[in-house]
Amino acid sequence: MVNRRICIVTGSRAEYGLLYWVIKGVNESLGLDLQLVVTGMHLSPEFGETYQYIEDDGFNITRKVDMLSPSDSSVGISESIGRGTIAFGQVFEDLNPDIVVLLGDRFELLAVASAALVSRLPIAHIHGGEITEGAFDEAIRHAITKMSHLHFASTEIYRTRIIQLGEIPDHVFTVGAPGIDNVRGLDCLDKQSLERDLCLNLGERSLLVTWHPVTWEPGLTEVQFQHLLDALQKFSNINLIFTKANADNEGRRINDMIDSFVEKNSSRAVAFASLGQTRYLSTLKLVSGVIGNSSSGIIEAPSVGTGTVNIGSRQRGRVRASSVIDCESNFVSIVAAIEKLFDPLFRQSITNTSNPYDNGGASEKIVDVLRSHPLDNILKKKFFDVSFEKPCL
């Protein structure tokens, strides 16, 4: 019997971390052959050349696809999408996978999905059905859903939304968030080892800071992030670990502002293009809280008992645990949210938080479906109509 060829594509450090146990499961499964294609920020020195982390984890990279433009302007992002579509068309012709696996909503994946679609390859999509009102990533996510054939939703609410988009219910699976498998599967560093690696004493109070551009609010990224930096400057007794922005519109400006802040606050702040999965999860567990607008603060942080300050509209619409504090992108609101994060009553409540994304064993469930689900005749999709009650006239 011929092994089923599973092509998994990853373009960023965060996405790879979420995919790690899926990649490992496919790599170790009888009857499956892993084709691992690395692209996007993984190959960029500016963003840490994080493909090296993948190789250090023992995975063989089947193909590297350089697609990133040196510009993060709208024109540069469009150029990257074009480059990626052209390159992945050739990759898929060469590798001829049985199914392509994509996670999330980044623009790199739009190029990959487009190439897979016209190559007549089935697509399995992870983390569809979610809402992030502040970023055009949401439109990309839904577009990939419509180009995909198997769907792995992180909550039942998101499964329902995927079906609402016309996808066949039998092809939509609620599995939880695969990134949470890292919480149970990775061996984290102790505090002393982490502090040595970070070159920073966490102290009594510390925050992990991640800010990505809000792509539906062009021109406001710098202003909004400055409000966050001003708020962090007010709390001089809090030590800070910054992870830098992705290759989104205006992302490089954010990274320049981080470098400037860290230079002025070198005794209590450090910054990294990429922490790597073990250091990132260790930091997530050991800091006092997470602040910014990253999905990690909403999806993973509650499972390690860490509170989150979620700023602005980028993650608006996601299901969230009670350990997440939402605030507006202005100085007063951010300061109030930080004060709440350190309030003793709130910190006590975090211990009882239930994470809606934590169903347990998401990656194993995904691999089981990739191994066993019939792929014959799934390319020509039928639109599944949801019945709605007619309004009263």
CB 98 within 8 A of CB 274: no
Confidence of residue 13 (pLDDT cuts 50, 70, 90): confident
Which pLDDT score is estimated for 24?
97
Which pLDDT score is estimated for 391?
57
Q: How far apart are CA 47 and CA 147, in angstroms?
A: 29
**Residue 140 confidence (pLDDT) above 70:** yes
**Residue 214 confidence (pLDDT) above 80:** no
246's tokens: 């992705």
Contact partners, residue 230, CB within 8 Å, separation at least 6: 331
Q: How far apart are CA 103 and CA 238, in angstroms?
A: 34
Residue position matching structure tokens 């990959």: 112
The arithmetic mean of pLDDT across residues 310-317, rounded, is 90
292's tokens: 């910014």
The arithmetic mean of pLDDT across residues 273-298, rounded, is 92
Maximum separation of any 2 CA atoms in the chain, in Å: 69
Architecture label for domain 4-176+359-372:
3-Layer(aba) Sandwich (3.40)
Residue position matching structure tokens 């983390």: 127
Per-domain boundaries in the chain: 4-176+359-372, 187-350
The arithmetic mean of pLDDT across residues 120-130, rounded, is 97
Contact partners, residue 120, CB within 8 Å, separation at least 6: 379
Which pLDDT score is estimated for 49?
86
Which pLDDT score is estimated for 390?
60
Confidence of residue 220 (pLDDT cuts 50, 70, 90): confident
CATH class in words for 187-350: alpha beta
Q: Give the pTM.
A: 0.86
Confidence of residue 392 (pLDDT cuts 50, 70, 90): low
Q: How far apart are CA 252 and CA 156, in angstroms?
A: 36
Query: What value does the mean pLDDT of the chain take?
Result: 92
**Residue 104 confidence (pLDDT) above 80:** yes
Which pLDDT score is estimated for 117?
97
Confidence of residue 23 (pLDDT cuts 50, 70, 90): very high
Q: What is the pLDDT of residues 43-79, one digit of tens each?
A: 988 888 889 989 999 999 999 999 998 887 889 989 9
Q: How far apart are CA 385 and CA 372, in angstroms?
A: 26
Do 187-350 and 4-176+359-372 fall under one CATH topology?
A: yes
